[in-house]
Chains A and B, each alone.
Chain A
Amino acid sequence: DVKVTQSSRYLVKRTGEKVFLECVQDMDHENMFWYRQDPGLGLRLIYFSYDVKMKEKGDIPEGYSVSREKKERFSLILESASTNQTSMYLCASSQDSEKLFFGSGTQLSVL
């Protein structure tokens, strides 16, 4: 079974803090993705990576950056957290671009 592990299930941060969300996959997948999920909006792609040190902007990259130093690990960084970044963050990995395996998510609250 593919396992995608996100470091925190719940996180509370203050406005202006730098926030790191970590994601690790154990299936040697090439591709990793970060989404956020908000009620009524569905999942929206923030960034994805198709190889180590490679990254591509998704649909809503503003206010976020990513890091992929190792194949199994993909980090999402909020340089200066804002209240409109309160959301559920989902990491996923995939060997292609279609069949995604998701982590259990991090519910981030920015106060």
Chain B
Amino acid sequence: RKEVEQDPGPFNVPEGATVAFNCTYSNSASQSFFWYRQDCRKEPKLLMSVYSSGNEDGRFTAQLNRASQYISLLIRDSKLSDSATYLCVVNPPTDSWGKLQFGAGTQVVVTP
């Protein structure tokens, strides 16, 4: 079983619509969580950090459910520029310092 699992998509979203997708993780002792965004043929860039129950940044909302071991990302009022692959990243327990665990990514395609 992978440590971090994501639906690869693609999620095809009309411009202006809302899209949400989840990421599940296997280690219940994981410390913190992140969403990175990766454009086609580009490097990943940090989108949001999630340390407690959730975080909101403009049109983006991340939620953490520790009981069910998943985090979600919701994008409201989708823009064409939101088309990208969203990587879920989990920081494991402290004895694995430095070894972030990456999901394979969820592809989002926003269409006009």
| A interface residue numbers (CB < 8 A to B) | 31, 33, 35, 40-45, 48, 50, 56, 58-59, 90, 97-100, 102-105
Contact = CB atoms under 8 A, between A and B. Distances in A.
B39 to A, nearest CB: 11
Interface string B82-110: 00000100010000011110111100000
B49 interface: yes
B61 interface: no
Given A45-B99, A102-B45, 9 more contacts: A35-B102, A48-B98, A48-B99, A59-B99, A97-B97, A98-B49, A98-B100, A99-B34, A103-B43
Interface of B: 4, 8, 32, 34, 36, 42-46, 49, 87, 91, 97-100, 102-105
Contact of B98 (A43, A97, A99, A105): A97
Nearest to A102: B43
A98 B43 contact: no
Task: Identify the interface centre among B4, B87, B99: most chain A CB within 10 Å of its CB.
Answer: B99
B43 A105 contact: yes
A45 B100 contact: yes
Contacts of B103: 42
Given A99-B49, A103-B43, A40 B8 contact: yes
A31 B49 contact: no
Given A41-B104, A42-B105, A100 B46 contact: yes
Given A99-B49, A103-B43, A42 B99 contact: no
B100 A97 contact: yes
Nearest to B88: A42
A59 B4 CA distance: 14
Contacts of B91: 97-98
A56 B44 CA distance: 22
